[in-house]
Structure 1
Amino acid sequence: MGVDVSCYRESIGRFLCAAHTVKKGKRLSFLDIICISLFAKYDIRILPVTILLHFVFHQVDTRSIISQQVEKCDARISKCTHDRLHDHCDLIISCSFSIVCTLLLISGIEPNPGPLTAESSSSSNSSLDDVFKNAVSFMHLNIQSIVPKLELIAAEYSCHEILSFTESWLSPQVSNEAILLPGYKTPFRRDRVGKAGGGVIVYVKDNLNCTERRDLVVCDIECIWLEVRFKTKKYLYGTFYVPPNSSPQVWENIEQSIDLALSCNLDIIVTGDFNTNQLRNTTNDRISMIKAQFSLHQLISDPTYITEHSSSLLDLILVNDPVNLLFSDIGAPLLDQIRYHVPVIGILTQPYKLHQVFKRKIYMYDRGDYDSYRHQLSLVDWDALFITNDVDAIARAITDELIDKANKNIPNRIITVRKDIPPWLTADIKRMIRKKNRIHKRAKKTNSTPDWAKFRLFRNKCNKLVLNSKN
C-alpha cells in the first residue's frame, strides 16, 4: 500500500535538486535585468517593488519547473505523494508572498535610518552640551613658566572653573597683580623656596566659593589644597608637584597630606605632576601604593608627557569616588615644543551656576542698504508723531521708527556677552581655537602624521592670533 522508502527519498531528492536549480540559476533572465535596472535608477526606494515583481514571476517559473520534475518521478510514487509536493510548494509560495506584502505595507526600508527630524537629532547633542555647560570643570597642566603664557591661558582655558598649574617658576619678586587672569580670583600660589623652578598655582572663577586649606599641607611639599563649596556639597581639591627622583620622605609627606584630607570626611580630587610613569603597570611604585592605601582611583590613561623618543603618563587625576566625575580626559598641548605636557581635564557631576551673561544686538553696518533705509524714512509721517505734548513719548516714537527701519535694512544679530571674557579674545580667535581642538581630536583618533602636522599648523596660527590681538 505504501511507497518504498528508497523510492520516496529518490523523489524528494529530485524535487530538491529542481528547486536548487531554480534558486541557483545560471543566467540572468529578462526580468532580472529589469529589476536590476530599476534598482540602479531609483536606489533603495524601489526595492520593495522589485522584490514583489521578481517574486511573483519567479514563483510561476518555479511552480512549472517543479511540476515537470515531479512528473518525471518514478511511476511507483503515488498520486498522494505528488499532491503533497504541490501542496508543500503552494505553502512556501503563499508564506513568502505574505511576508513581501507585509514589508510593502509597513512602508519599505530606510536607506539611512535615524531621527525623524533635524531637531530631534540635535536635541540629544544639545542636552549633552547643556550638562557640560552647567557643570564644574577643572584642568591641570605642567606649564613650565606661567608668566609668558598668560595670554594663551586666558584664550584657551577660560572655559574651566578651576585651573591648576605646576612648575609655575614664580618667585616672590612676581606680584599677584602681574599674573591675574580675567574672571578669576587672585591666584592661590606656592612658590619654590631656595632655588629656581617648581611651584604650584591655582586659579578659581570669581563666582565659585572656595578657601585655601593650609592645614592639610605637610612640611615643605609643593601642593595647594582648596575647599570648594557648592550649595549641597563640598570637595577638597589638591594640586601636587613632585620633582623627579624625590626622596622617600617627600612621598611620606604626600601620603600624610592625603590622609589628612580624607580625615575631613569630604570627597577629594587630587591632580598634579607626580613624575612617576603610570604606563609601566608596576605595582610597587609610589602612586600604586597610595592608590591601594587610600582606595583612590586614577582616571587618566593616555600619555601626558611627550618627548622625541618616548611618552609617559605623569599628570594624574586621583579621586576617592569616580561617580563625582562626569568626564575625564587629556587636552591639546598649549605650545609646539619638542618636549611638552598636555593638560588633564575633569568635569564634576556637581551642577553649577552659569556665568553672568547678557544679550546684545549688533548691526553689520558695512552690509546695510542705506538707499532703502533713507527711502523708508522719507515715507514716515513725522508730523503725526508730534500730536502729543509729551516730549518723552515723542522721543520714544522717533526712536522706534528709526530702529524699526534700521532692523529692516541693516543686517543684525543677537550676541551673548560674557563679562569674564577679555576684550581681545575675539570671535575669530574662538573659532580658531574650536577648530584646532577638533583637529587635535581627529589626530588622536587616527594617529596619522598628516593629521598631527595639520594640528601643529593650526596651533601655531592660533597662538599667533592670540599674541597679535593682545598686543
Structure 2
Amino acid sequence: MGSDIVAHRISIGLFYCKISSGCVKTVIKHTVSFNDVLFEICVNLEKCKLWILSKYKSYSDIAIVSFYMLLYSLLLICGDIESNPGPGGTPDPPEKTLSIFHGNIRSLRNKLNYITDLIEDFDIVFFTESHLDVNVPDLDISLFGFETPVRKDRNANGGGIIMYYKSLINIIRRVDLEHDEVESMWFELKTKLRSILININYRSERQSSVCFWQYFDMMLKRALDENNSILCLGDLNKNFMSDISSNIRDVIFINGLINIIDKPTHFDTRTGNTSLLDPILVTDSIAVVDKDTIPIDRGISDHDGTYVTINCGFTSSRTYKRKIWDYKNGDFDLMNQKVLRTNWEHLISDADNINVACTNFTNSLLGIASECIPTREVVVRCDDKIWYNSNLRREMRKRDRFRKLFLRLKSSLAELKFKQQRNKVNNMKKQAKKTLLR
C-alpha cells in the first residue's frame, strides 16, 4: 500500500467506515488522514482490552483477539481486498499462429450448443446463412469464450453473416472496403508484425454469378491498394472442383489469389453429389501452416466447415506460473503461536510513517504464513476450460504431433492417424463437459 494509493483513497473519500466490537463503536470519516485512521484503530484496541479482560483470563487470549481486531480493522478500511489476486507483471503472450474457421450453418439460433463444441479451438469464426434479424439480440447468440459477435443480417428466412472472435484478437470491421450489392464483410486483423485483411462472403444461388464476381473484383482491388495480405472465405455457390469460367479464373489470378481447399464442402443428400462451394482464397504473402475441412453433422448443415491456420505473428495461448498457498496442509496451531509471540502494536507504533507501518505489518504476517503454510507453484493456462484435465491435454498434444507429422509427410496413413486422434479428442471434450454438468 504505497503513498500514492493512500493519497488516492483519501482523495476519493474511501476512509468512511464503522468499527464496532462489543462495547466500542467508532465512526471514522473521510475527512481524516490515514495516520489518524490508524491512530483511532490503536486507541480502540486499548479500549477493547478492557472489555476483553472481562471476558478472558489469560494474556494469550487477549493478544490473539487484539491481533484479529487489528487485522479486521485494516481489512475494513482497505476497501479493495482481492480474494484471488493475480500475479503482477504477467508478460504479454508470444505471438505465433492464428486459426480461422468458416461454416455455412443454415440458421444459427437453434444450433448454439453444437457450435460451441465445434469452434472452441479456433480464434476467429465465421458463419454464413445465419438467418438472423433485429429481433434476435446479441446476448441470445453469444458463445462462451468469444466476444460479442459482429453481424450482417439479411432476415430470419435466409442469408446473413456473423463473426465471432476471442478476446486477445485485435480485429476491426472495415466497412469502407465493402460493397452494398454483395453480402460480404471485411475485417482488418492487426498483430505486432503486420496487418491482414480478412473477407467473408455469401453468394446466394439467386444472385447473378457475373455480377457477384465483378463486385468481388472491385472489392479486392480496393483492398490490395493498401494491403497485399488478404484472406477470403465464405460460401460462393460455385464448384471449385470443376472447371470454372474464365472470368472467375481471371479475377482470382489477376488479384494474386489461390484456393487452398481441395476437398468437397457441400453434400447434396438428394442426389449424392459433392462439390467445393466454400473455398479459402489467400494471397501468396499469407503463410499457411495448416488447412482442412471439418465434418459437420448432416442434421446441422449440408456443408462441412473449412479452416486455415496461418503464421501471422499471433497466438491466443498464454501461460504463467503462480505461487499458491496450500491451506489444507497448513500448521495453524504453530501459526497461532507465532501470532501470539508477535508484538503487532509495536510494529505499527514504532514506525516513522504509515508506509513503513504497513510494510512491517505485511512482512511480518507473510513471514509467519510462509513458515506455517506450504506453497507450491502451478502453471495457469488462460485458455483452459474448467472441464480440462491432464488426460485431455495429453491427448491434445498427441493430436498436434500427428498433425505436424501429416503436414510433413502428406501421406494417407499420417492423415488417417491425425483425423482419428482429432475425433478422439473431440469425443473426450464432450464427455468431460457432460461429467462436469452431472
For the aligned residue pairs, the C-alpha RMSD in angstroms reads 4.6
How far did 1:329 drift? 0.6
Find out whether 1:318 has 2:275 as its counterpart: no
- The DSSP-based 3-state class of the residue aligned with 1:324 is coil
Q: Which residue of 2 aligns with 1:178?
A: 140
- Alignment equivalent of 1:201, drawn from 144, 159, 162: 162
TM-score by length of structure 1 reads 0.55
User: Which residue is 1:415 aligned to?
Assistant: 379
1:169–1:198 CA contact under 8 A, matched in 2: yes
Question: Aligned match of 1:220 in 181, 186, 189?
Answer: 181
Q: Assess if the C-alpha contact under 8 Å between 1:436 and 1:459 holds in 2.
A: no
Distance 2:216 2:245 in 1: 16
CA change 1:364–1:427 in 2 (3 A) is: farther
Letter in 1 for 2:181: D
**Whole-angstrom CA distance in 1 between matches of 2:169 and 2:424:** 36
> 1:200 Cα shift?
1.0
Unaligned stretches of 5+ in structure 1? 1-129
- Counterpart residue number, 2:128: 166
What is the Cα deviation at residue 189 of structure 1? 1.3
Is the CA contact (8 Å cut-off) linking 1:305 and 1:313 kept in structure 2? Answer: yes
- Preserved contact between residue 399 and residue 421 of structure 2 (Cα < 8 Å): no
Q: Which moved more, 1:329-338 or 1:232-241?
A: 329-338
Moved more, 421-430 or 163-172: 421-430
Judged with a 3 Å threshold, the aligned counterparts in structure 2 of structure 1 residues 436 and 376 are, in CA distance, closer, same or farther, namely: same
**Which residue of 371, 391, 413 corresponds with 1:446?**
413
Alpha carbons of structure 1 residues 316 and 348: separation in structure 2 relative to 1, 3 Å: farther
Change (3 A) 1:302 1:264: same
Query: Per the alignment, do residues 332 and 377 of structure 1 end up closer, same or farther by CA in structure 2, a change over 3 Å counting?
Result: farther
- Tell me how many residue pairs correspond in the alignment: 328
| Length-normalised TM-score, structure 2 | 0.58
For 1:448 and 1:347, locate their aligned partners in 2 and report how far apart those are by CA, in whole Å: 19
Q: Residues 182, 236 of structure 1: CA spacing in aligned structure 2 closer, same or farther, 3 A cutoff?
A: same
Counterpart residue number, 1:292? 253
Contact 2:229–2:285 under 8 Å retained in 1: no
In the TM superposition, what is the alpha-carbon distance from 1:344 to its structure 2 partner? 1.4
Alignment of 1:68-87 (within 5 A): none
- For the residue of structure 1 that corresponds to 2:185, the secondary structure is strand
Say whether 1:390 aligns with 2:341.
no
Matched to 2:239, the amino acid is: N
Deviation at 1:225, TM superposition (A): 0.9
Q: d(CA) in 1 for partners of 2:198 and 2:308?
A: 13
- C-alpha distance in 2, partners of 1:227/1:278? 26
SS of the residue aligned with 2:101? Answer: strand
Which of 292, 295, 299 pairs up with 1:333? Answer: 295
Q: Distance in 1 between matches of 2:166 and 2:288?
A: 20
SS at match of 2:374: helix
Counterpart amino acid of 2:367?
D
How far apart in 2 are the matches of 1:464 and 1:162? 25
Distance 1:143 1:283, change over 3 A: closer
CA distance in 1, matches of 2:203, 2:266: 14
Contact 1:377 1:402 in 2 (8 A): no
Cα distance change of structure 1 residues 452 and 266 upon mapping to structure 2, 3 Å threshold? closer
Q: Which has the larger radius of gyration?
A: 1
**Alignment partner of 2:305 out of 319, 322, 342:** 342
Q: Distance in 2 between matches of 1:205 and 1:132?
A: 16
Equivalent residues of 1:164, 1:203 under 8 A apart: yes
Q: Is the 8 A contact 1:385 1:394 kept in 2?
A: no
Please give the per-residue CA displacement for 1:192-211, whole angstroms capped at 9, x wherever unaligned. Answer: 24x61332112344454443
Q: Which runs of 5+ in 2 are unaligned?
A: 1-91, 349-357
Cross-structure match for 2:373: 406
Task: Give the superposition deviation at 1:239.
Answer: 0.3
**Displacement, 1:341?**
0.8
Aligned equivalents of 1:470 and 1:276: distance in 2?
43
Cα displacement (A) at 1:170? 1.8
Distance 1:364 1:155 in 2: 34
Q: Which has the higher contact order (CA 8 A, sep 6+)?
A: 2
Change (3 A) 1:224 1:395: closer
| In structure 2, C-alpha distance between the alignment counterparts of 1:432 and 1:231, rounded to whole Å | 31
Alignment partners' CA distance in 2, 1:430 and 1:313: 33
Instruction: Note if contact 1:300-1:328 (Cα within 8 Å) is conserved in structure 2.
Output: no
The one-letter code matched in structure 2 to 1:389 is: H
| C-alpha displacement of 1:142 | 2.5
In 2, Cα distance between the equivalents of 1:295 and 1:450?
34
Structure 1 residue 172: Cα displacement: 1.9
Report the CA distance shift for 1:177/1:288 in structure 2 as closer, same or farther (over 3 A): same
- Name the SS for the 1:389 alignment partner: helix
| Bigger share in helix | 1
The residue number in structure 1 matching 2:426 is 459
